[in-house]
Structure 1
Amino acid sequence: MAYLLLVLCTLIGWSQAFLPSPSLEVEGLTHADITEEALLAVAMDACREEAQNEGRTFNPPALLNPESLLRACLGVSEEADLSGSKFRELLNEIISENIFIDRDQPFSSAHHFNDEVIERGRDIITQGVSIVRASLRQDNLQAARRALGAVTHTLQDFYSHSNWFELGNLDPYPNLLRPDLPLQNLADANTPTCNDCQEKVCPNVILPEILSTNTLTSGYLSFTPQGKCNHGDSIMGGINKDFGGGGLTSDGTDPHLAAFAVAAEATKDLLQNIRIAFGNTVFLRMLGITRSTVLCFVIDTTASMTDDVAEVRRLTTKIIDETRGTPNEPSLYILVEFNDPEVGPVTSTTDPEEMKRVVNALTVSGGGDIPELSLSGIRLALTTAPPSSDIFVFTDAPPKDTELLDTVISLVESTRSKVTSLLTNALNRRRTRRSALTNPTNSVYQQLAQLSGGQVIEVTKNTLPLATAVIEDSITSSMVTVLQVESTRPDTFSFLLDPRLQNVTLYITGLSINFTLQNPAGVAQNDTAGSGPLASVFPVGNLYRVSLNEGNLTGRWQITIRSPQAYSLRVTGRSALNFMSQFVEVFDGPHPGFAPIAARPPAGQNATLLITVTGVDMLFGVEVGLVSADGELLRNTSVTRLREGTYLARVLHLPDVPFTLLLMGQEADGRPFQRQSSTQIQASQITVQVQRTVVLAPGESITVPFTVETRGIEGAINISARDDQGFVTAVNNRLNVGAAGNATGLVSLSVPTGTPSGTTSVVTIDAESSATRQSNFALLRVSVIQRDIDVTPPVCRVLNESLDCPVPCGNATWEVTLLMSDGNGTGLRDPHISITIPDTPINETSTAIIDQVKDENGYNATLLTYRASCCVTNVEISAVDNEGNVGRCDFSIRRPSTTGPPQTTISSTTSHPTTSRPSSNISPTAPSNGPRLTVSLWTTLLLLALTALML
């Protein structure tokens, strides 16, 4: 049972990243399950609509999971070179933020709808939705994902922690997403709501008069006043429906599953509102359902960079032209400029032609002294690009702003992005010191490359075009690392290539390099430039790029490298088979479990890794090892399979030196494989803790406490706090840690007046011991939101309709005229029309005529006349205002009841009804068709297994 329950809490996606403790004897589905079910379902709606708008067929996957949905959405085959890792990673980001509410706000009544603070709970939802909308308007997709994950937790808790289900409701309460409507029939402090219950199971605990009057209440968690409802826990019964295994209702309904179903529908309603308000393209980009390649350049525009800028222009045009229309076409283009003393602007666009225009408009000027503000540019790229991006830096100067190095390192570790620097300041002479670089001023770039799994390539201005092939190699969604090492001595390295790998390339950086490559059959080739029996060798600057010949590469290869100086080796290829990893920690509270560790894990302590493997159905003999930078195995792990593709790896005593993770195993056909993580992991004896988010309005200030804890370290801890918007105004720059092992500091933030709503800032708090140089960091995210916002959705009225349709539909049409108005609100955006045409040609006739008019009160309004074929059986028409509030237009096709199918309702699935469909009253009667529940095959199978064990 315990194993099954653990699996139940690790369904597809980031539900694998929030794991209740294996010894925790609880039953039931989780927030992670609810959130992922809703995300995948609404994403599929968006993908279907996009396909229809583009005139192509959408084939929904038979088994709904992130990988299958991504392929269906992009319209690519199973054989296509496409990885689902980025989509999984961004789903994980949303779902993990949902999970953090249980860890970070365990006793906040409002965040969990406990203690009858239902209005305050809705305020949390309203604020969270406002952050999502404002962030999307500013194209801050990461901030939107994080706010979305947090708000879904509170929304879902309403259906478990209140008596909504006990009042007979199996549909969502739309007023939770309508702050302009009252929450009616709320129990006040003096109203008794429950019988006293001290047992584990309390049947009929809610008072009959509460049920008969449709009064809404919720349970009390820490202290239950007399006459009120308990929340309930493992000892005492209550009204929460968090876990399964409790009693069934008189009609055989499991309250836990019913709460799960309605919470899932409510989450879908929220997601549909966001999708309608911002469109399918933005919604799918937020989720990561796009071609996952990102082209990100950070470029020095000082006067000496004329040749480099010309190469960036050529390379950008070449990549855009050659990848257009392919699975490897970048979905996002980012360009960060840095000069002296200015940094920026930052261009972030999905339009390749705009990227061309911006790059072609680059000019060079200024500079003066040699060092430049390159770390400021890299920091901007790390906070702009999605996680796990490849960032390419072009400069001919060392960094001037080295005080930002700790901040940049923290951002690299938290985003797991690679930083590769193409440097045109190579020295002609070969240095005798043990370095892979000719120019010692480039050591900071080398440090970032080693940490992130990137490279430092030193070339001349003339040879730069030969080195940029490294960038072209990386323009793929399926780049994987097979092996990477850093060494200071001659050595032989082996690596395993599996049949899935394509475009295998070795990158060797260093000076005075000689190498011999040998394939599994014993055929050898040396470092001579040009084509050979095994590979084509391209030397340029301090880089050897070795591209293996196509053919049978399967088996164990060897490379012997001889050099008197330091060098690095990186073996990469393209494959859908990859893995993600995350250290997780146990947290306590009313709903204890596992949560990801956002910073460095604890050195010298036992730790747990969550491993997610993508692109493969079944694996055997999975092993995970901790490997030092020079390739030495530091630790083996104890690996437990949770389900296919999901594993827990337990580590004894984390080493205090940097390491990466090496994953090995066998596929179902017995063929072995290996993959290595790119970003180095550094454990630490220091921990920095700070609240995860702060919400401020323009002109507001706040002081936020943070705590530094140490293990075996006393004395001075140096503190720095920086952010990318300049919100940090002060911080305790030194704390003294005594025998107790902790100290508290303060960071002050101030948002300037006039800062646009939706602006976000990432504050990095770094702590370093003066004595041991041990360090760690924490990230505090600031969201800027206007306090007074329009929360009233537009209204939509049917003025004229001709909705009678014959059977069969033939050549007949139906027509409706709608008046859409936002009154004195922020004003209407364009009406949104969503057409779903099952089993009919995509070119079924439909027309829309839009006129701008005044309503009866003199406000601006939109008059929409829509005509469609009677064969069009599902149309959603919504009005969206400039704040992102969504109003729905409801009407129905009428078919002859004696000869045709039942009446077809044409309406939106959004939970924002118009005034023609008020939903402010609590309904005591459940719909006769039962709860709406959309579940994946995994969930269905596991629910059946749980039911069988309960019988």
Structure 2
Amino acid sequence: MHVLNKISLGDVCGHTDDAIVVVRYNTSSSQTQGQEPWQCDNKNIRVYDIKIVGEDTQESRQRRALGGLDFYHLIADTSGGTVYETTKSNIAAVVDIIKESVTTKPPLTILKFKLLTSSNNSFEIPVDNLIQNLTIKVQGSTSSVPTMHLYRPSGTQETFSNASVSKQQILGTKLRVIHIYNPAPGIWRMERVSTSLIDVDVTGSTDLQFSYQFMQPGPGGYGDYPLIGRPIAGENMTIQVSVPLVDKVGSIDSLLLVDRNGKVVANSTLRNVGGRRGKSLFKTHVVIPAKEFEIALEGKDKAGNVFRRLDPKIITALAIQLEVLPSNGTLYLKQSITIPYRVKNVGAGTATITVSITDDKGFAQSPTSNTYTVSSMASNNGSFTLKAGSIKGETTTVTISAKASGSSNNKVQYNVQRITVEEKIIRVIDTKAPTCNITSMTGKCDFGADICQCSKQTWEMKANVGDDGDGLLSVFSSGAGPKSTFKNDSFSIGHKLSSGVIHTTLSADCCHQQAKITVVDLAGNVGLCDVNITAGFVAPDPKLCIHPNNAKPVTTNANVTTISCNITNIVDTCNGNASGNRKPCENTFWSAEAQLGNEGFGRIQVAAVNAGRHANLTKLNHTVKLSTDCCHPDVYINVVDVAGNTGQCHTQITASTNKPGTGASSAASKAPPIGIIAGAAAGGVVVLSAVAGLVYYLKTRAGKIGPDTNAVTPLS
């Protein structure tokens, strides 16, 4: 508990428990008490004002001038607290009552209202079987304690003869407090003997409580979101109710809107919408009344007794809508932002509305208020300016409020936001790719048409990489095959060119000529170094490179059509007589021609096996022409179509020309299986693409080989 005078009210909000308790001695002779303060924060603020009767202070005179409503009465009504009037000798007893109201498990309100002089002198108190203790506080408006009679559900009057069952206290000249221990469930009744105005506050010790939230439609009218500010009078609003201990009651029936005098001004049936174990959330729709009201929940316990729980906070409906629009950015150190808003008059007539801004750090810039004359259902837009200080991370609570001229101080629409000061970081976005420059390339991959020799030759590329933006993130190679090697200088992430280039080396066999070095910087930009040795090179399928001597016999499949391939002509220039002076075999060429059948389906591909690097193979319609050097006298022409059908023809000459560095020799080879070619076609690897009019040119040492004018056709 924090005991303070009026000017120290603002100091109490720095504590950390479930409620702020403000107790004021309303006497000019009293000082702030030196008691140890209770921990408290701003989750649940309730103000209890202890007024010392019998003294005419400046503040009591101010209360009369305000027509009976001073600053503390206003806060107490809004927060659900109470203003107690008593004598100095009874302050300790009143403080004990307040302490009970703010314990870890405070009693919950059942009824709280003003019993007017014109009202019925009796009222009912519903007690359910979940209430353990009942406390009734009645406070008169005159200098005499109200005389009250209390009747049990059985109809008998409570006599307070047994202190273990019930007791009552008279605190000063206005306050009567009644305690009932383990009250019998049912409807209790209290009767006022006099006709004076009294304040009634009935609470009970119980675990059954509830909470509620006004809801408003979401963007585009979809979904429900908690309302910011106060509800609008006359609107049909959704109210969501949560009852955590719903399993302990028989039914949750109604949501009641109750005015200050205890009269029910709206009664709406609740419907279950799920929640904890599918039962604890309820919703209803209710038209918001123009007068102030409290919200109560009503239902029945499992024995059928009526229960009621009341939230004692006074709700004031307004005819002003206040919408704070998105700001134009972030609040940076020592810089300003604009907070736009829209205020609308939803009342019946023209209103003069003042919109104001306050914040707890002094960021709000002048002007801090704007006044508008707004006709019914019209709106005005405006804005305020905040300028941040020099402390990074400082958070300010900004309250924008709208109040109609002539309305009471508690009829204010509001919107509260928390804004944090941030440091503005200007970052240049790196969009430039890192560099990768090839410094050397070795290895020619010079195997000509004999592409199966690619695995026996290697290449090596050196490159320098770097980045002058955000810095390097990673450097790696790809497409170089499992036997490749890649090395680079070590570097730290964020390395920049200003600290030197990074040297890289990539080597691989000539079957992997599509390799690359990839450089990535911290911004995600990518730089590349591409290997480009033989333009258009496509690595062969390993199945195509099986040596004929190692091939297995072809297995005939009855479902596969064989494409016929017949050698129709051979021009052998390898055995010409030159008086014993024969040319080396790589400088002498022979040719053959084959005719394909019509059995294939779709595009047909052809390949020459064992033809050497100087071979040239062309296909025009169904005619295939082959030319190669005399070092390769034994060649197979393999055929495959898109359906996997295959064919093969074998052409061979007896070469007597000299091989380089050796005597003349030749040997026949076993035919490679056609299934190898079919597998290549099915796998999508095109070794030789042959379409009408398209010539697949295999690299030769001295350019394209033409027909030999000295060629002769052997006798059949």
Q: TM-score, normalised by structure 2?
A: 0.50
Q: Larger radius of gyration, structure 1 or 2?
A: 2
Q: As a proportion of its length, which structure holds more strand?
A: 2
Q: As a proportion of its length, which structure holds more helix?
A: 1
